[in-house]
Structure 1
Amino acid sequence: MLVQLGYAAYYFLPFALRPETAPPAGPEADAEPVSILVCAHNELENLRRLLPLLLQQDYPAGFEIVLIDDRSGDDTYLYVQQLTQYYPNVRLVSVDKTPEGLSPKKYALTLGIKVARHPRLLFTDADCIPASNQWVRLMQRGFSRPADVVLGYSAYAEAPGFLNKLVRFETLLTGAQYLSFAWRGQPYMGVGRNLAYTQQCFRATKGFASHIRSLGGDDDLFVQDAVQQRQRVVVEAEPAAHTLSVPAETWQAWWRQKRRHLSAGRHYRLADRIRIGNFIGTNLLFYFTTLVLLFSRPDWVPLTALWGIRTSVICVAYAKLGQRLDDRLPVALLPVLDAVYFFYYLALGISLFLYRNLRWK
């Protein structure tokens, strides 16, 4: 309980209650053009929604959109080709085949980065949309602090049902960890749905070379390499700088998605694994201890008081984070989501330990 309260007091609450980041002063803040990279595999309908919103971004220095068509079997190629006729800042990179043994997405992203014209790179996924037309501007202002990597937040759209709330709770909790840790000077990951870094940073890490054969990790393992190369990492977490995605609609789809995401964790630095594992482990220990004590003969007054203090503080921290990140969940449901999530996380960990095979679309 003390460990969890320590995380809330040192990371989560100060991050949620921090003052808003002042806009960078001077014309140089918006002076650098940017390359926006989107990797797509059979994402035509999502691209029809995303690309018009990207073209409407308000960024005076200008930007290009590099769409990497990764072996799509739909009409992605024709659709983007039509756009290039009307918008000279839209460019198409086609991937016909991925070399044996390489991660398809990392290979496709590498090809896109090689043809990008601008030193600054901004990444999102085809199934995301920017939260506002200021997305590019806000994500780019992080480079003026200065920085080599800018971490953004990517939320999931609200929908009816308990699964949707659990997916959004997991996203909020993950965001709370990687954003607040980075804010405290301990960056360890980012999400490819909302991530920016420079060409120089990509070269410093030798691209995805250290994990090109791992299926996932084009975002979090890249940040791991960037930190090892002493690249500067900052956070841009204002709501207008977020992206929004459609969440998994079935438990099976979310299970597959989380298995892929968690599989990269074993490649993290030891200090990061300890920091994250300590938070996850103490939460699981808290709930297992609670269950054991419920069936023993404890002194109910201190047990209830401790459980109430821990749950109240943690839920207040999560509620404040939800307000700051504009990703609110029902406060009354937070204790239930917290308990369900950590047991679900334990099941995922056991599944990854027993069955390590993963597939890519």
Structure 2
Amino acid sequence: MKNFFMILLTIFLPFCLVLLTFLILFGIRRVFQQTLETTTSFQNISVIIPFKNEQENISDLLNALNKLDYPSDKYEVVFVDDNSSDDSMKLLHQNLMNNYKVVLSSDKKYPGKKGAIDIGIKNSKFDIIAITDADCEPELNWLKSISNKIVDGNEVVFGYSPLKKENSLISKISSFENFRNYILYFSSVGLGIPYSATSRSIAFRKEVYYRLNGYSRTLETLSGDDDLFIREAVKQKLKIGTFINENSFVYSKASKSFKEYFNRKSRHLKTSHHYILKHKMMLAFWHSVNIFSLYSIVLIPFSNLLLFPFFIKIILDIVTAQTVQTKLTSDFSWYEILYLQPVYETFLIVNFIGSVIRKDKWK
């Protein structure tokens, strides 16, 4: 019986790994095939940026926004201050452009960041809403890509938001994790089963926001203004698209410390407890196969055959990351992938536990 069980593991795990990896690459290939049109339809867009105590990031954000390749009369930027206690407001008022404005987050309908975004939307004048964060830096074609994807008939769209990888270990870990998460985000759209995105680069029509009753159906957690919003869009069978075009990424800073990293991840993973059941089952199966394959190596004393799923996983991890990152302008070397992938999957377990025991808060 023991030998049968071991042989089953050595066949079942590699088979699942190969099949799932093929589906992931197939899905993301379909997304990569969606290229930017040669002509751009410059739709009117309101960019909503909620912030709280972001004085160290405001200058970089404004510098990026000022470089956007988009007619200034075709977009506005609505900054929403959620009771900042630093010099964020002062810096903004000193550098406001004609199409920028700041509103205060008072009498919020929803708690946390959702309430600030809601106030921004209510104070916006255009039909298309684009959202990013105050610690982000959109590239010059960001709004062009949003405009094109919305005109193509998509009701909700999201783009790629890489984290800036620095030399520190935590920066590499958080950047790689973000990269791997986006592989799943994009491939799920390509396979027709979207389940998540991030609010660092997401857009929709205002009519869609009100059709979904704003964030009123996403109040299970303080976070979830992105992935739970996607959940509600999926429930209503809305068309969800992605854009990964040249110069359309939205860069953000990686975690500076392990404490910041674990706080971020526990907050994000807390929303995953409220995903649609089929999405939870899909993710649980994907991660379980990978984690069991990774840790099958500890069972080698029982059978050398368990080296097989471990090595198959390592090879597929490197191939997948190296294949995808050429399109996402990432630069993880094969040896970085070799150690960051196990760390990523181990931290999935740690962060999932953290999401259960940590309290949810914004800032």
Superposition pairs of residues 116-155 of structure 1, within 5 angstroms: 116-130=124-138, 132-155=139-162
1:77 matched residue in structure 2: 89
1:167 matched residue in structure 2: 174
**Is the Cα contact below 8 Å between 1:41 and 1:72 reproduced in 2?**
yes
Per the TM alignment, residue 200 of structure 1 is displaced from its structure 2 partner at its CA by 1.2
**Is the Cα contact below 8 Å between 2:150 and 2:156 reproduced in 1?**
yes
SS of alignment partner, residue 235 of structure 1: strand
CA distance in 2, matches of 1:123, 1:218: 10
CA distance in 2, matches of 1:90, 1:2: 54
SS of alignment partner, residue 295 of structure 1: coil
SS of alignment partner, residue 30 of structure 1: coil
Per the TM alignment, residue 287 of structure 1 is displaced from its structure 2 partner at its CA by 2.5
1:286 matched residue in structure 2: 293
**Is the Cα contact below 8 Å between 1:67 and 1:93 reproduced in 2?**
yes
Per the TM alignment, residue 241 of structure 1 is displaced from its structure 2 partner at its CA by 1.2
| Pairing 1:3–2:16 present | yes
**Is the Cα contact below 8 Å between 1:66 and 1:116 reproduced in 2?**
yes
| Pairing 1:113–2:126 present | no
The one-letter code matched in structure 2 to 1:271 is K
SS of alignment partner, residue 151 of structure 1: strand
| Match among 76, 85, 100 for residue 64 of structure 1 | 76
Per the TM alignment, residue 120 of structure 1 is displaced from its structure 2 partner at its CA by 0.6
Question: Do the aligned partners of residues 228 and 128 (structure 1) sit closer, same or farther apart at CA in structure 2, a change above 3 Å counting?
Answer: same
| Match among 40, 46, 51 for residue 35 of structure 1 | 46
| Pairing 1:202–2:209 present | yes
The one-letter code matched in structure 2 to 1:331 is W
SS of alignment partner, residue 360 of structure 2: coil
2:111 matched residue in structure 1: 103
| TM-score, reference length from structure 1 | 0.91
Alignment deviations for residues 100-159 of structure 1 (CA, whole Å, 9 cap, x no partner): xx42111111000011111111111000101x3111112221112210111111111121
Residue range with higher mean Cα deviation, 135-144 or 54-63: 54-63
Alignment deviations for residues 14-64 of structure 1 (CA, whole Å, 9 cap, x no partner): 5258654333365xx423110111111011231121123212211236210
CA distance in 2, matches of 1:16, 1:161: 31
**Is the Cα contact below 8 Å between 1:248 and 1:254 reproduced in 2?**
yes
| TM-score, reference length from structure 2 | 0.90
**Is the Cα contact below 8 Å between 2:157 and 2:203 reproduced in 1?**
yes
User: Structure 2 regions of 5+ residues with no counterpart?
Assistant: 1-13
CA distance in 2, matches of 1:7, 1:213: 30
Question: Do the aligned partners of residues 260 and 56 (structure 1) sit closer, same or farther apart at CA in structure 2, a change above 3 Å counting?
Answer: same
The one-letter code matched in structure 2 to 1:79 is L
Residue range with higher mean Cα deviation, 52-61 or 265-274: 52-61
| Match among 150, 175, 183 for residue 176 of structure 1 | 183
1:12 matched residue in structure 2: 25
Superposition pairs of residues 262-277 of structure 1, within 5 angstroms: 262-277=269-284
Alignment deviations for residues 289-309 of structure 1 (CA, whole Å, 9 cap, x no partner): 3212x222x2x3x54444323
Residue range with higher mean Cα deviation, 240-249 or 216-225: 240-249
Residue range with higher mean Cα deviation, 282-291 or 140-149: 282-291
1:253 matched residue in structure 2: 260
1:333 matched residue in structure 2: 336
CA distance in 2, matches of 1:220, 1:285: 26
SS of alignment partner, residue 68 of structure 1: strand
**Is the Cα contact below 8 Å between 2:61 and 2:136 reproduced in 1?**
yes
SS of alignment partner, residue 159 of structure 1: coil
CA distance in 1, matches of 2:223, 2:32: 34
**Is the Cα contact below 8 Å between 1:121 and 1:198 reproduced in 2?**
yes
2:35 matched residue in structure 1: 22
CA distance in 1, matches of 2:95, 2:106: 20
The alignment-based identity, stated in percent, is: 23
| Match among 94, 99, 103 for residue 93 of structure 1 | 103
The one-letter code matched in structure 2 to 1:33 is N
Superposition pairs of residues 315-334 of structure 1, within 5 angstroms: 315-334=318-337
CA distance in 1, matches of 2:35, 2:289: 36
CA distance in 2, matches of 1:158, 1:277: 28
Per the TM alignment, residue 217 of structure 1 is displaced from its structure 2 partner at its CA by 0.2
CA RMSD, Structure 1 to Structure 2 (Å): 2.0
**Is the Cα contact below 8 Å between 2:25 and 2:320 reproduced in 1?**
yes
Alignment deviations for residues 141-187 of structure 1 (CA, whole Å, 9 cap, x no partner): 11122101111111111211322221111101110001110122111
Question: Do the aligned partners of residues 169 and 291 (structure 1) sit closer, same or farther apart at CA in structure 2, a change above 3 Å counting?
Answer: same
Moved segments of 4+, more than 6 Å: none
1:51 matched residue in structure 2: 62
**Is the Cα contact below 8 Å between 2:294 and 2:342 reproduced in 1?**
yes
